[in-house]
């Protein structure tokens, strides 16, 4: 009898330890998803991705967690997209320009002067056309979740620039893209494909006369110090897409089919948050540039129409199906 009583505390201790271990196991996530972004930690897209991760963890009661890898830690955008397509990376934010390579129809969204303004673009992307593109992303092996803002791109140069005639003959850095090179050629300039990290030195040394990008890139890379003249023509608005691998989709559904809808809702909510962050960063970037004495010139209505006419051949090169899509976008 005494022996049994002596063993009782030990049994209770083991039982309590076992329960604690079970509780710890219940607290652990059932699925950890990897999310890739090539921007730094404090950028609007990465801040929105952190918010996305927070929403998902809260609404799945900790069963699904998202781990963010920024600063291009998992590769450049082309590499990341390829890995998402095959399930090596679960989620990512990629530019429409990157996505257009495996899915050429997406290239339509890159056309210069396609939208009248930002409000026009969001009417398109938040409506049936945007939903169609998100759904059709499955053709490339990924799941389209939501749209992020990446602002409008304009030209900036080392010498004064005020309109289309001033672009003629200038050497302008463009992304490593035949599409963007074609646009610059039609505007009368000479495109030069240079890696993004080399643009500042190329401007400083006079290897190029100018470049084109959005406000944050112009400001926070220091490009405005080497190219003080900005022509705010807003020739391109390049949205970005949050995507997920089909492998991750299946894993989420296996835990709870309802979680798929939760993931989509969280992606939509964080996209709206990203737009707010982007607008704030654009405003701060423009303030910084103007404070440092850069000359910013905006197009008149007539000048903008001249730019549009110059790039019209790009529109005419598309087959009938894409022509119909372009008409729908312009009429939205």
Report all structural domains of the chain as residue ranges with CATH numbers, in order of start.
31-150+239-283 (3.40.190.170), 152-237+290-331 (3.40.190.170)
Query: pLDDT per residue over 144-170, tens digit each?
Result: 999 999 999 999 999 999 999 999 999
192 backbone dihedrals φ, ψ, rounded to 5°: -130, 120
Count of C-beta atoms within a 10 Å radius of residue 92: 27
Lowest mean pLDDT among 47-51, 102-106, 139-143, 181-185: 102-106
| C-alpha dihedral sign at 203, 70, 283, 302 | positive
Q: Which two tokens mark 106? A: 């997406």
- Whole-number pLDDT of residue 196: 85
DSSP state of 305: H
Tens digits of residue pLDDT in 49-70: 999 999 999 999 999 999 999 9
The answer on pLDDT for 123 being more than 70 is: yes
Length of the chain: 332
Integer angstrom CA distances of residue 28 from 51, 58, 95, 235: 20, 13, 33, 48
Contact 64, 260 (CB under 8 A): no
Tokens of 137: 């992303």
Instruction: Report whether 49 contacts 33 (CB < 8 A).
Output: no
CA angle 157, 151, 172 (to 5 degrees): 25
Judged against a pLDDT cut of 70, whether residue 24 lies above it is answered with no
Task: Quote the pTM value.
Answer: 0.85
């Amino acid at each position: 009898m005494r022996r049994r009583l002596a063993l009782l505390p030990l049994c209770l201790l083991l039982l309590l330890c076992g329960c604690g271990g079970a509780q710890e196991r219940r607290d652990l996530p059932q699925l950890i998803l990897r999310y890739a972004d090539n921007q730094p930690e404090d950028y609007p897209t990465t801040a929105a991705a952190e918010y996305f991760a927070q929403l998902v963890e809260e609404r799945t009661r900790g069963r699904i967690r998202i781990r963010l890898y920024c600063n291009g830690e998992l590769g450049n955008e082309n590499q990341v997209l390829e890995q998402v397509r095959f399930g090596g990376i679960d989620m990512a934010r990629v530019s429409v320009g990157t996505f257009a390579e495996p899915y050429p129809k997406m290239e339509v969204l890159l056309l210069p002067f396609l939208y009248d303004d930002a409000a026009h673009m969001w009417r398109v992307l938040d409506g049936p056309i945007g939903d169609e593109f998100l759904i059709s992303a499955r053709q490339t092996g990924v799941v389209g979740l939501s749209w992020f803002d990446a602002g409008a791109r304009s030209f900036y140069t080392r010498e004064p620039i005020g309109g289309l005639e001033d672009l003629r003959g200038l050497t302008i850095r463009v992304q490593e893209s035949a599409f963007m090179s074609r646009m610059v050629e039609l505007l009368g300039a000479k495109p030069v494909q240079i890696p993004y990290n080399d643009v500042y030195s190329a401007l400083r040394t006079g290897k190029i006369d100018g470049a084109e990008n959005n406000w944050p890139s112009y400001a926070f890379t220091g490009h405005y110090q080497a190219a003080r003249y900005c022509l705010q023509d807003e020739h391109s608005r390049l949205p970005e897409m949050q995507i997920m691998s089909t492998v991750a989709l299946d894993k989420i559904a296996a835990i709870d089919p309802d979680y798929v809808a939760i993931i989509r809702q969280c992606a939509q909510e964080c996209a709206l948050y990203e737009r707010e962050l982007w607008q704030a960063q654009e405003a701060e970037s423009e303030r910084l540039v103007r404070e440092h004495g850069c000359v910013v010139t905006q197009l008149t209505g007539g000048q903008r129409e001249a730019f549009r006419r110059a790039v019209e051949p790009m529109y005419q090169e598309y087959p009938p199906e894409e022509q119909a899509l372009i008409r729908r976008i312009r009429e939205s």
